[in-house]
Structure 1
Amino acid sequence: MKRYLMTIFTGILLILTTSANAKENCEECHKKITVSVSHESLNCIECHEPEGDHYALAADFKINAKGCVKCHEEYKGMLKSPMHTRYKEKRYVKDIFEQYDPEFFGKNCEGCHVSSCVDCHAENSTPHTITEPKTGICLKCHNDYYIGADYTGLGIREDHERYQRGIKVAGKYHQKMLPDVHYEKGMDCGECHSMKSLASGKPSSKVCRDCHNPDKDVLEHSIDAHLQKMACSTCHAAWAPVEYGTFWIKFEGDARKDYFKWIKSPSEDYRKSSYKRYNRRPHIGLNKDGIYAPIRPMFINIFSLIRNVPC
């Protein structure tokens, strides 16, 4: 009996000692790491599981973000969210571009997708300083034409070098425009686009009428068809980025790349130039719900293949 009790006691002592010393042992190599307030009471191994001779990245989607999901299980759906899977973009590339270049997505589209919880939750790109995402974090990826920085009053410019001036966000030039009224009031993206909604596959957690009741004394609001068949943004969107197509030029062999040196090069084989990017009143059309709303096509592309042909 004494031996049995001693074995149990030794096992408990070993676990407690391992847990207590885990952080100290890690800090022998990782001396400059500071953990944010919300996680500072945790030991390293509570988030970083053993992997081979070392420990796994807690938030990496390649291991299903095990270090985060074990406590934040309600957000497990983010692993299947469009921001990570990019299924619409991949399906489009497969249908359109892969017949010309099976590696098109990897060459030109792979860079901007969520691959870890810390992509959005790390303050100043420091993975151990966890915070709620603010608008500035969102703009690291959402800064182009389809979902861009227009909320903050920035309209994307054309790709040609003569338009490369103005305010720079994530390496892209923007024109100063009128900000959204909610941004002017100090609201962040997450106040309408919550983590729970994104994890459940919904783009937003709130719609306009969750906070705003239409005033029937306003003439436009007194017309039932307006409230039933039109999105609020049909009238209330002051402007939106409008694009008429992006040219993708692929070179094979010793083609004349220098002729196109003034436009962007997303990869070694390609040049890319978006055409007629205006920041103006948006086009109106029927959305997927049959409601009139501002429309912004997700993909408008023109593909050209330039190769040397022997005379």
Structure 2
Amino acid sequence: MSRSASSHPGGLFGIVRKGPPIAFLSICLLLAILWVCCFAAENQPYSTTPPLSPIPVENSGTSDLSYPLWWGEAPKVDSGTPCKEPGTCITCHTSTTTMDASHAFACVQCHKGDSSAVEEKDAHQGLIKDPGDLNHAEQTCGKCHPEEVRRVRHSAMALAPRTINHTRFSFGAQKDASPQYATVKTDALKQVPHPSESGNLGDDLLRRSCLRCHLHTPGSTRWGEHRGVGCSACHAAFPNSADGRPREHAIVRQAGMTACLKCHNANHVGADYVGLYERDFHRGFKSPLVQGRLAPTIYGAEQHRLLPDVHFRAGMTCIDCHTLDEVHGPGHLPQNQGNGVKITCESCHVNGDHPAVLKQEDGTMTLLRGAGRTIPRMNPESVPHRIDSHRNKVKCSACHAAWSFQDYGLHLMLEERPDYWKWATTAGQNDPQVQQLLRETVGTYAEILPPTGGAAAGTPEEHWKNPETFDWLSGEVRPGAWFRGYTERKWSRPPLGLDAQGRISVMRPIFQYVISHVDSGGSVQRDRWIPTTGSGTPALIMNPYAPHTIGAKGRSCQDCHGDLKAAGLGEGLRGIEKPGFHNLLLPESQLPEHRIIWDKLVDEDGNQLQYSSHAGARPLDQTTLKKLLNPSPRQKAEFYKYLIQPE
């Protein structure tokens, strides 16, 4: 795991604390390595498992070392068919004269413009560069696929209602996280307010830092993130290559996981499915070296390579579980805070009612999209599955998630002065606008070694300008940039809590905000401020989620029963000579109004210390907490059966 108090760049974020003894940390690190190795040994990798170090990419248009050109299988593209009536377009566009057979129309049918004009400016009058753009999709894709276009325009991928409304709730801009705002105005949803209208820093954070991943914007152009807009984001096949171009001038039915990871990367659900965990921002975490240079980056950051999800290793892709109703949207506005996921673990492994599952008379189940992939059934006789409370109250991922994203203490600073040296050693922070600012000002001066492309010169300090970044929704440029760091980042044993339905779930620190703001004159507007949510609680938020890091074998009994971390008390030790519970993380001492332990959701008496933006979700209740911390004789007996139970 990655200890990263070093992410703090000093100044307002200067949080320096004395940690546990070095010998103890060494033991913890050794145990963590052994834990990962044991999991890797238990789950033998398939051919689709990414290697533990970057590999050469063939035919990628670059000589750099990178990650796989495609995650899983490459999209299937029909052989090219000459486009009908190309006119003068092919005079210049010589490499795009063919299309897949289903879409080999005249160029102007999708791209508009004038294919009879000789001059470029005349030919490009009214040109639609990307026909999938949702601003034009009704007159392009929508001519043949009107229902799909209608649904996508109302989809979560186009509107980002969860990101927007949960963030606004966390900043106290609305009373709850129910859908009220979106990336664009549509029906009952309003567009995220301009910060000059709302006066809320959360709206500025959303518009300039968070909302680059939705279908109305092409997003980032960093390595691995090139994609189309709107429909083209999923139906044009962009690989993980440096040239930023789709592999074929064609529409694909299924672009595979590579398309999904254009947006669902960094430390968000999706990247974990293929075993990626973003390295910390500080230069000290940039390792290992590849051929004597710093490793290349994908999705804006270097990645730890952890154990991928067992479903990925079995060859399954995102759409094997996420249906078209989720991807295209159900065709109506979201009504609640849920994620709309319809396929559950039980759909395949218990009930066999997954729409893509064929259930035989003998109970055997096969996934139809695979070449006879047999689905393992849940074993009802295994000790954990025999316990009623496990089956009825515990989410499958609470036991079967091998690891989870745990980025504690999200420190954000809106900086309007040109104080770039402070951020030079943390230039890896994953925001394309911030990365560009630091590349232009300090270059690669603070790197231990030059990156793969060679050293980059900065700009003399006397020529530095105040930072400016643009609004991802309007394109407007405003003073300042959002810089960030974390108190601690790790992926060890997940903490548990209750989701909105009262089921035991893995909890994730997602909105643990600490905000600072310094204006262009150096005046401190906010200093280590924790916002108050719309419900009046501090924005110290741990939300339930489903890690995509599933292993075939779940946690052992003692990983939950008697485990302090699982109970939500944080990483720690129980005293013997000195009774009580002792957290490894010390209480945060640098916050003016709060003294918290970042990974502690609840205290020993069941008092809630951190909150959720999901209505009804919370840390474990006192009754469940006591059961976990004080295993009963029955639990001990069941654990004994678990140990001697044959595989």
Match of 2:160 among 80, 86, 102: 86
Asked if the contact 1:133–1:190 (Cα under 8 Å) also holds between the matched residues in 2, the reply is no
- Give the aligned residue type for 2:106: N
- Looking at structure 1, the residues matched to 502 and 98 of structure 2 have their Cα atoms a distance apart, in angstroms, of 48
Asked if the contact 2:267–2:405 (Cα under 8 Å) also holds between the matched residues in 1, the reply is yes
Shift of 1:221: 1.2
- Looking at structure 2, the residues matched to 148 and 222 of structure 1 have their Cα atoms a distance apart, in angstroms, of 31
- Give the aligned residue type for 2:501: D
Q: TM-score, normalised by structure 1?
A: 0.81
**Percent of paired sites with the same residue:** 27
Shift of 1:90: 3.0
Match of 2:498 among 286, 290, 303: 286
Local SS of the residue matching 1:243: strand
Match of 2:207 among 103, 106, 109: 106
- Looking at structure 2, the residues matched to 208 and 74 of structure 1 have their Cα atoms a distance apart, in angstroms, of 29
Asked if the contact 2:236–2:250 (Cα under 8 Å) also holds between the matched residues in 1, the reply is yes
Shift of 1:100: 5.7
1:111-150 paired onto structure 2 within 5 Å: 111-115=212-216, 116-124=230-238, 125-126=245-246, 128-131=249-252, 132-150=254-272
After TM superposition, the structure 1 stretch with the greater mean CA deviation from structure 2, 238-247 or 90-99, is 90-99
Q: What does the per-residue CA deviation read over 1:110-167, in whole Å, with 9 as the maximum and x for residues that have no partner?
A: 3222231111221124283222121122112111223241111122222222223367
**Counterpart check, 1:211 vs 2:312:** no
Match of 2:91 among 16, 28, 43: 28
Q: TM-score, normalised by structure 2?
A: 0.41
1:97-246 paired onto structure 2 within 5 Å: 98=195, 99=199, 101=201, 103-115=204-216, 116-124=230-238, 125-126=245-246, 128-131=249-252, 132-165=254-287, 168-198=297-327, 199-200=329-330, 203-213=340-350, 214-246=378-410
Q: Normalized per residue, which structure has more helix? A: 1
- After superposition, the CA RMSD in angstroms is 2.9
Asked if the contact 2:260–2:270 (Cα under 8 Å) also holds between the matched residues in 1, the reply is no
- Structure 1 residue runs without a partner (length 5+): 1-19
Specify the alignment match of 2:76 in structure 1: none
Specify the alignment match of 2:411 in structure 1: 247
Specify the alignment match of 1:72 in structure 2: 145
* Distance change in 2, residues 1:36/1:275 (3 Å): farther
Match of 1:300 among 483, 497, 512: 512
Local SS of the residue matching 1:162: helix
* Distance change in 2, residues 1:276/1:103 (3 Å): same
- Give the aligned residue type for 1:109: C
Asked if the contact 1:49–1:55 (Cα under 8 Å) also holds between the matched residues in 2, the reply is yes
Asked if the contact 1:193–1:205 (Cα under 8 Å) also holds between the matched residues in 2, the reply is yes
**Counterpart check, 1:53 vs 2:125:** yes
- Structure 2 residue runs without a partner (length 5+): 1-82, 115-123, 174-194, 217-229, 239-244, 289-294, 351-377, 435-466, 468-480, 525-647
Asked if the contact 2:408–2:487 (Cα under 8 Å) also holds between the matched residues in 1, the reply is yes
Q: What does the per-residue CA deviation read over 1:154-202, in whole Å, with 9 as the maximum and x for residues that have no partner?
A: 2222222222336743121221211111000111112111333322266
- Give the aligned residue type for 1:245: G
